[in-house]
Amino acid sequence: MINLFSQGRRGCAAAAFSILMMPLGSQAGVYDLTVDNVIIDTGAFQKKGIGYNGASPGPVLRFTEGEDVTINVTNNLDEKTSIHWHGLVLPYQQDGVPTISYDGIKPGETFTYNFPIVQSGTYWFHSHSGFQEPDGAYGAIVIKSKKREPFRYARDYVVQLTDKHPHAGARIMRNLKTMPDYYSRQQQTLGDFFDDADKNGIGATLNDRMAWGDMRMMPADVEDLQGFTPLINGKAVEQNWTGLFKPGERVRLRFINSSAMAYFDIRIPGLKMTVVNADGNNVQPVKVDEFRIAVAETYDVIIQPEEDKAYTIFAASMGRSAYGRATLAPAEDMAADVPELGKRPLLTMADMGMDHGSMAGMDHSKMTGMDDPKMAGMDHSKMAGMGAKPDPFYAPGSGLMPKAENGGKFLSYADLKAQKPLYKFRKATREIELRLTGNMERYIWSINGKKYEDEEEVRLKFGERVRFKFVNETMMTHPMHLHGMWSILDTGAGKWNPIKHTVSIAPGTTVYTETEVDAPGQWAFHCHLSYHAASGMFRRVVVEGSPNLAQLEKTD
């Protein structure tokens, strides 16, 4: 400063100018990340993998809303890498997807990302190159809000889940291509046949097996990839990640599912959770006993443990083939009982989309408020003493219908309402249908029957509001993720529709999201199941036009 002033009036002016140019209260944080080869130790096995700053999971990056961040990423691998900031709104060149945002980061190179933080909440980051993400390249992002948040808590923890597999990602892809049920070890066996025959009779069981056999599909095919070890914050069940609390405190848990393929059903026996944030956006608080977190989603919950004892955070994989466990306790080295995993779910014919009468259900733009006869649960005379309403985001009769283990409330997308809508509520300017398709036998996953390399871009115009209609014609659940722009999930709540970046589409269902196209450039849009994205369930989205152009068009 002194030097500037001593350079005379010019220097003085320059100094004054630069002070004036700095937005009041803005920070300009500089963060350094290295991408390294690491060893991941799950206790059960050790595996070479990829990590950040020498570890997997990578560090928790802490930003502040309004900050201008500079992130220097140094690639210490022998192959190209990239980092995508999942859920962040930023200029497309900073989005980190090779061939769409940039070229990737070469071995030995340091790439500098630079962008302003325009949001707050819980997010994550991961490699978008090869199978580096399943091999361990992921970390968390926590962004402090510049305004007071609509909920209070004394402390918070990142609870980041992954499905670590003893095989490397590239090998898993190859095996799935050669033999799609390579990793399915929960298939129906002779023993199952006899159990079912006992329950339902041989005739019915034979009919059932033959109905599926005709389609050459397996009802046990809930998880493509089994044999993984769930990790919470990098720790397996035995390693027991522990978060401390003082009894009576409110604690915020930032759940992030950074898995390659696994969905988890999360509960904390003995504690109810109040969901206050989903995919980084605040939602009107809803109290639940259990929730399902899809791959790439985040959910922030507030809990208030009153007793001076340990609680178990239990994460059961959706296919019930494995579970992760962490502990919340008043002191270290404590543990609570770990619940049983439960029976594996089986898909039903409803998940095959066979029940066409129910497919019409979710188009709320055509529904007229409360008079709609399709909206189940509004008949009050029957409400007393009724069990939980079935989740409308699953096919009626679906084998994946979530049910809280303790009989309590299981979170549904229908429960999510934005705390503060980001956009004015208006009608969509056009609708784009995206059929989620695939061929399990060949392990080909696609959109509208076409894979990524068959070059069908999605072209959007800056300023429009697009309504995406996802029709899931497969029997798998797909978490669809659009980069760079928010996906407003149509839950029938009108202006309160929740704002997400990753939307899970259950088998045999149709789900609508709307996007205000306000980010110029080109963006990735794909199923976030790693091996589905790699086998073709991926699209490039090109946004034509820009703010300036839109302005000109408006004034014409």
Site residues (CB under 8 A) for another protein?
97-99, 128-131, 148, 150-153, 169-170, 173-175, 177-179, 182, 185-191, 210, 213-214, 216, 227, 250, 272, 274, 276, 284-287, 302, 304, 370, 380, 383, 417, 419-420, 439, 441-442, 444, 451-453, 496, 524, 526, 530, 533-536, 538
Residue 24 or 190: the one with the smaller Cβ distance to another protein is 190
Residue 91 or 227: the one with the smaller Cβ distance to another protein is 227
Smallest separation, CB 12 to another protein (Å): 44
CA angle, 552 as apex, 118 and 23 as ends, to 5°? 30
Q: Are 522 and 482 in contact (CB under 8 A)?
A: no
Strands lying side by side in the sheet with 46-52: 46-52, 30-41, 68-75, 110-116
Nearest to 353 by CA among 521, 507, 538, 180: 507
Smallest separation, CB 375 to another protein (Å): 12
Residue 20 or 370: the one with the smaller Cβ distance to another protein is 370
Residue 356 or 380: the one with the smaller Cβ distance to another protein is 380
Please give the DSSP secondary-structure letter assigned to residue 151.
Answer: S
Smallest separation, CB 287 to another protein (Å): 6
Residue 377 or 547: the one with the smaller Cβ distance to another protein is 377
Nearest to 260 by CA among 360, 351, 126, 159: 126
Nearest to 504 by CA among 519, 495, 518, 491: 491
Residue 29 or 166: the one with the smaller Cβ distance to another protein is 166
The CB density around residue 44, as the number of other CB atoms within 10 Å, is 11
Q: Are 248 and 335 in contact (CB under 8 A)?
A: no
Smallest separation, CB 188 to another protein (Å): 7
Please give the DSSP secondary-structure letter assigned to residue 455.
Answer: -
Smallest separation, CB 166 to another protein (Å): 9
Please give the DSSP secondary-structure letter assigned to residue 270.
Answer: T
Smallest separation, CB 304 to another protein (Å): 7
Query: What phi-psi label fits residue 130: left (phi over 0), alpha (psi between -120 and 50 degrees) or beta?
Result: left
Nearest to 510 by CA among 384, 387, 353: 353
Residue 98 or 463: the one with the smaller Cβ distance to another protein is 98
Backbone angles phi, psi at 396, to 5 degrees: -60, 125
Tokens representing residue 183 in the block? 């990793």
Smallest separation, CB 555 to another protein (Å): 33
Q: Are 11 and 204 in contact (CB under 8 A)?
A: no
Peptide bond into 57 cis (omega under 30): yes
Smallest separation, CB 73 to another protein (Å): 18
Residue 428 or 533: the one with the smaller Cβ distance to another protein is 533
